[in-house]
Amino acid sequence: MSYFVDENGYYGEFGGAYIPEMLYPNVEELRQKYVTIMQEASFQKEFKSLLKEYVGRPTPLYFAKRLSEKYNTKIYLKREDLCHTGAHKVNNTIGQILMAKRLGKTRIIAETGAGQHGVATATVCALMGLECIVYMGEIDIARQAPNVARMKMLGAKVVPALSGSRTLKDATNEAIRDWINNPVDTHYIIGSVVGPHPYPDMVARFQSVISEEIKTQLLEKENTENPDYVIACVGGGSNAAGAFYHYLDEESVQLIAVEAAGLGVDSGESAATSVLGKEGIIHGSRTLLMQTKDGQITEPYSISAGLDYPGVGPLHAHLCKSKRAEFISITDDEAMQAGLELCKLEGIIPAIESSHALAVFNMKKFKEDDVVVLNLSGRGDKDLDTYIKYFRL
Ligand SMILES: *Cc1c(COP(=O)(O)O)cnc(C)c1O
């Protein structure tokens, strides 16, 4: 069994490109060209150079000594929190802006929920001098003011989505509408391993630099490329896809995907798609998603804005169904405590998304000589308000 995408854009039974006919030319152009463009030497050279000089890669693979002592196992943190803009998302937006340029596009659109992907997109548009329009739900604009300000400072136009629940899925609908109306000059930068084929595969390839680096770094530190476990949190699934990518076919490496249980899997306020999700179609791909009996998408909940998504990408749906990865759900409370613990033990303030992954050490016992790599997807600066309110700091 392969865990990589097949030529039709499927991971097992998940994936594909379920799109309106009007969108077909755009998606088809990308599908035909993305692999060829990515493999060009000049593309690789520019991509690698920007990752090094602008993003600050390779990010360290840091042996967390005190955390390891506490849980009596060997824990390495892959420090995506040290990327420019504070998280892994920029790996993908750098890749996609270079793709857009090769395709001759001059106008960039994106959707954003909490604003992190909007900021990462606005950043690379400024870097390349391209026009940037970010669609964002009206409710999200109100509750994510600092990220809205960041996008504006970076020169992006933030357009409110006024329909439906006025959150991420409505912003996505607006972005799709825009793309249909502007098929020639516009590229749509999707922020995770979601959407119609080829997006999940393209984004996973851009993020795969994470596991590529882990292999080299672990060889230096542990004399083997392969850890016993790789742990990552999953919203749409891009940081996990990047951390898992070069280990997908290495069955000795156990993969752990961590979802947000919110107030609890059975509370009605959750984002644990692997438990609560059923097969269905969202944003152009067949995957697992949270829905009502008649197929309406359920509003997800998590304290962490980045994990507050009603589906997972098709790769993760396949990893879940095939049991290649173990899925673990972590509540708000468990994540917040684990985040605070990392601050006290290692002097690192993690993003609340990453705190969900850290909480696995309280759920699962590892052996003393296990090598565990945890992808620390982002830094906690953006979450300070939430930490302040939660801990009454
Ligand atoms: C957006 C985000 C996530 C979730 O997105 P994925 O596509 O699942 O990686 C996780 N961590 C951080 C820090 C984020 O900003």
Catalytic site residue from 208, 211, 355, 377: 377
Summarised one tens digit per residue, pLDDT across range 320-345 is 999 999 999 999 999 999 999 999 99
The CA distance from 382 to 350, in Å, is 10
Query: Ligand 1: which of 91, 116, 302, 358 to mutate, most ligand atoms within 8 Å of CB?
Result: 116
C-alpha 258 – ligand 1 centre gap (Å): 11
Q: Examine the pLDDT at 110 and tell me if it is beyond 80.
A: yes
Query: Ligand 1: which of 81, 190, 238, 258 to mutate, most ligand atoms within 8 Å of CB?
Result: 238
- Atom index in ligand 1 nearest the CA of residue 193 equals 7
Q: What is the mean pLDDT of residues 203-226?
A: 98
The CA distance from 263 to 145, in Å, is 25
SS3 135: strand
Beta-carbon neighbour count of residue 386 at 10 Å?
A: 17
- Atom index in ligand 1 nearest the CA of residue 117 equals 1
Q: Report the residue count for the chain.
A: 393
Catalytic site residue from 78, 89, 105, 382: 89
Q: Given phi > 0 = left and psi -120 to 50 = alpha, else beta, which region is 150?
A: alpha
Name the percent of the chain lying above pLDDT 70: 100
Question: What domains are there in the chain, each with its CATH number?
Answer: 10-50+89-203 (3.40.50.1100), 56-87+208-391 (3.40.50.1100)
The CA distance from 366 to 90, in Å, is 32
Query: Ligand 1: which of 88, 208, 210, 231 to mutate, most ligand atoms within 8 Å of CB?
Result: 88
Residue 15: strand pairing partners: 10, 286
The answer to whether residues 69 and 58 touch, using CB atoms and an 8 Å cutoff, is no
Q: Atom 14 in ligand 1: which residue has the minimum CA distance?
A: 306
Displacement of CA 188 from its chain's centroid (Å): 16
C-alpha 89 – ligand 1 centre gap (Å): 7
- Residue 1: the pLDDT is 75
Residue 288: strand pairing partners: 279
Q: What is the mean pLDDT of residues 300-317?
A: 93
Band of the pLDDT at 218, cuts 50, 70, 90?
A: very high
Summarised one tens digit per residue, pLDDT across range 26-50 is 999 999 999 999 999 999 999 999 9
C-alpha 194 – ligand 1 centre gap (Å): 12
- Residue 175: the pLDDT is 96
C-alpha 21 – ligand 1 centre gap (Å): 30
CA dihedral 378, 314, 251, 257 (to 10 degrees): 40
C-alpha 331 – ligand 1 centre gap (Å): 16
Summarised one tens digit per residue, pLDDT across range 127-147 is 999 999 999 999 999 988 999
Q: What is the mean pLDDT of residues 218-242?
A: 98
Catalytic site residue from 111, 259, 341, 346: 111
| 89 belongs to the catalytic site | yes
Instruction: Give the chain's end-to-end CA distance (angstroms, integer).
Output: 50
The CA distance from 383 to 113, in Å, is 14
Instruction: Please list every protein residue whose CB sits less than 6 Å from any atom of ligand 1.
Output: 87, 89, 116, 192, 233-239, 306-307, 351, 353-354, 377-378
The CA distance from 142 to 162, in Å, is 12
Q: What is the mean pLDDT of residues 198-219?
A: 98
3-state SS, 156-203, equals CEEEEECCCCCCHHHHHHHHHHHHHHCCCCEEEECCCCCCCCCHHHHH
- Residue 169: the pLDDT is 85
Band of the pLDDT at 78, cuts 50, 70, 90?
A: very high
The CA distance from 129 to 126, in Å, is 5
Give me the chain's average pLDDT, please: 96
| 377 belongs to the catalytic site | yes
Q: What is the mean pLDDT of residues 255-282?
A: 96
C-alpha 177 – ligand 1 centre gap (Å): 25
Q: Atom 1 in ligand 1: which residue has the minimum CA distance?
A: 306
Q: Examine the pLDDT at 299 and tell me if it is beyond 90.
A: no
